[in-house]
A and B are shown apart, each in its own frame.
Chain A
Amino acid sequence: MNPRQAVRPIDRTPNRSEYQASIMISRLRRAAISVLFLVILSFSTYAQNYPVETITILTHSRPGGGSDVFLRELSRYLTPKLGANIIVKNVTGGSGAAAIAELSRAKPDGSKFYATTPTFIYTSLLSQPAYTYKDVEPLVNLFFDPELIYTAADSSFQSLEDVLDKARSSRGLWGAANPGSLERQSLEQLKLATGLNAAVISHEGGGDLMINVLNRTLDIGVGEAQELQSQLAAGRLRVLATFSDARLSQFPNIPTVHELGYEVIVRKFRGIAAPKGLTTDLIIQWEQAIQTVLENPEYKASYLADSLLLNYINHSEYQGFIDEFASETEDYLRTVGIIE
């Protein structure tokens, strides 16, 4: 056994499962090679052979922020699968610029990664930092965070159409969390798609925005399901529509903006990026480990509770996804005049 396993964190299960796997391997050695056998064998070899002892995953999110909580939860399950300790490091400077720079300069030896969110595209486009999303390699995607349109429970808006009607007859007041955010982009795109007269007002974070929806200064706000959970449970907010490409399992009666006839779909992604030049071995190791973790029932329960939408994208397709997302965002930023 690998001596590293002696200092592994509390979770004992992996040792046991690997032990069982090795027993199975010895029993099956003489038997015909089955597909199952191959998978287990390849997995256990990879788990034993991760090239470094400690993996650092960077995030631009501060401790307790969205990406931070997501990473720490993920690393609990990922550690035994990769066979290396995972450390989450918060590199908060420059809205992601510092984290991207640190990753770009790191060796592609499997020791350093970065948790991607649309922020890393936004910062790259908005501030032209020395290192951008083009200097790193998107590895895999795990989730999309669904963005919901919500209003105060005591407002008169019962559907998205009511909100749009108000914008038709007078002037819509729509709120987004931050000026340079996907939430604002989604509302600006809805405004373009409907051609209506609405002010899209950005705030200093989701909490600030929610107060102005709750006190009915604004008609609607846009936010992630997790932020709204408590207010929804207390019956103070009402969800009107979602920007996802399909209805959400927790909100089966809430229509998507797309099905209401407006061509706006928002994909707030959560994934992992690596320094450029990662070996194929490492890429396969990560793809397999992530896929196994995503199927873990315990982890599934945890991410479903956080309203994350499973959306696995493997390495070969992730680069294309990121590039497409970036060019869409760049177009939008140019259209509204944020960048020249």
Chain B
Amino acid sequence: MDALLSSLANLEFYLALAAVLGVAWGIVGGALPGISPSITMALLLPFTYALEPSMAIVLLASTYVGAEYGGSIPAILIRTPGTNAAAAAVIDGYEMNRQGKAGLALGISLYSGVIGSLIGLLALVLLSEPLAKLALAFTPPAYFALGILGLSVIVSLSGESLVKGLIAALLGLMISTIGTDPVSGISRFTFGFSDLLSGIQPILIMVGLFAMSELLKQASTQDEVRVKTAPRIQFPDNALKKRLILPQSIGALFGGFEGVMPGAGGTIASFMSYNEAKRWSKSKHEFGKGSPEGIAAPETANNTVAETSLIPLLSFGIPGSNSTAILLGGFLIHGLIPGPMLFSRSGEIVGDLYAGLLIAAIALLFIGITIMPACIWLVNRPRPYLNAFILALIMSGIYSINNSLFELSVVLVAGIIGYFMRLLKFPFLPTVLGLVLGFMIESNFRRSLLLSGDELSIFVSDRISLVLLSVAGLFIIGSLAKRLLQTLIGNSEKQLPSSAES
């Protein structure tokens, strides 16, 4: 806290400038489908060589903050998550957009993003030490259990048919086994393509499933009468703000914890908080049909993650995600080595980073408001133009990552699969979850068994694993019981919205 305050007191103009520029660049990068936060940061990295260390670090960290928010813009407006973590905001965000409430959806997402950033920053400044201890306590069995807990959400995200949800999840899990085997190093299901060696990036499948299939569907149906959105961002009023407190707290809590855990990342946090926000909500039936809470929870979560994921980086020098790995690069370029000695050796840099992040959170609000009318104007163009634009945007975005035609074909194939999944009313979210969590679950399961010498008891003897698995078990049994009850009573009122929707 002292470091933050003294940096704020002597704040130099260039630091504030770096924070503002970083956020602006981050929003743009995050909003472009396929350009992940880490790529947005990586594009900037070469330019930081010439900068002062503090300025370089603040620029990169602010880019991360901006990008985590930016991902929700295309999620809401064109049903394409700009980042992995924004996938959960697609559900209710796009639904609100269809109801002509895009301005409000964007407002909620921005408002929640800023709140998430501020809470995350507070946790980073005040709770670094205890949270770092927690990260250290996570062993392979605990990570396995965390992944299973994440998967347990499928039961409630599956919509009308649990079987379809499970099939969709299996599809995701199967795709996640492509690539190099995490333990033995053997190539699996690569069929001799070197492009498949490092597996299929979840974002490619997500863009295909959500966006491509939407374009295909719109091309195949008559023009629906669209509700035009007023080209203005709209912030929640006081009643709505009050209603959002609970989902935002849930989001901040999950984001705060998961950011700390290397490898877990923002995607689990945003899905888990979406699910929990639904469970604890007074208006569950709105979820999936354009619930403001369904945007607030995941968007708070992924912006909290952007801040707390700095904890393992700063305290151990261990990057927990691709984005923090780029940030680590930014430190190393300037001869700074994050880790236990950073605070004592280069405390002023840490202080500057905190101050920069605070400015970034505020800048997020203003830049978000400024650029939004242009975005809304864009999506209000006539359908044919808009769809052509979206197609070009997706294709060029994906192609620009690695200049790879292969990745473009992955997106196309995923789009076709997504189109048929929609026709057959399979939900997408279980596929996305399976895809994102499959690798983590498999690698940590096998690592645990190697540790224990093939004794399954390691999952019970590890305390964190035991707790997480029990919670997952309760979730699954609880949700199943509820489903069963509804079937028995013959509840005609469909309480479980389909995430695949029409």
Contact = CB atoms under 8 A, between A and B. Distances in A.
Interface stretch (B23-31, B175-183, B364-372, B466-474): B175-183
Contact of B183 (A129, A202, A231): A202
Nearest to B335: A305
A211 B262 contact: yes
Interface in B311-334: 312, 316-320, 325-330, 332-333
Interface in B329-368: 329-330, 332-333, 335, 337-342
Given A64-B328, A93-B404, A98-B402, A210 B318 contact: yes
Contacts of A178: 185
A166 B181 CA distance: 28
A208 B444 CA distance: 11
Nearest to A92: B402
A211 B316 contact: yes
Contact of B182 (A98, A179, A215, A234): A179
B220 interface: no
Interface residues of A, number: 51
Nearest to B337: A230
B46 A63 contact: yes
Contacts of B319: 207
A204 interface: yes
B339 A230 contact: yes
Contacts of B451: 173, 199, 201, 217-218
A126 interface: yes
Interface string A315-340: 00000000000000000000001100
Interface in A68-124: 68-69, 72, 88, 90, 92-95, 97-98, 123
Interface residues of B, number: 54
Nearest to A64: B329
B213 to A, nearest CB: 26
Contact of B339 (A127, A208, A231): A231
B443 interface: yes
Nearest to B133: A215
A211 B297 CA distance: 30
Interface string A297-327: 0000000010000000000000000000000
Given A127-B187, A217-B451, A65 B329 contact: yes
A305 B335 CA distance: 9
B337 A229 contact: yes
A214 B187 contact: no
A65 B332 CA distance: 9
Interface in A220-275: 227, 229-231, 233-234, 236
A69 B333 CA distance: 7
A202 B140 CA distance: 11
A307 to B, nearest CB: 11
A171 interface: yes
A214 B340 CA distance: 13
Nearest to A97: B194
A199 B328 contact: no
Contacts of A127: 187, 190, 192, 194, 197
22 contacts: A63-B326, A64-B42, A64-B330, A69-B333, A92-B402, A94-B194, A123-B197, A127-B194, A128-B192, A129-B194, A179-B183, A179-B184, A199-B453, A204-B263, A208-B263, A210-B316, A211-B136, A211-B138, A214-B136, A217-B451, A229-B337, A338-B185
Interface of B: 42, 45-46, 49, 135-140, 180-187, 190, 192, 194-195, 197-198, 262-263, 312, 316-320, 325-330, 332-333, 335, 337-342, 402, 404, 443, 447, 450-451, 453
Pairs of residues from A and B, 3 with the lowest C-beta to C-beta distance, nearest first: A64-B329, A230-B339, A179-B185
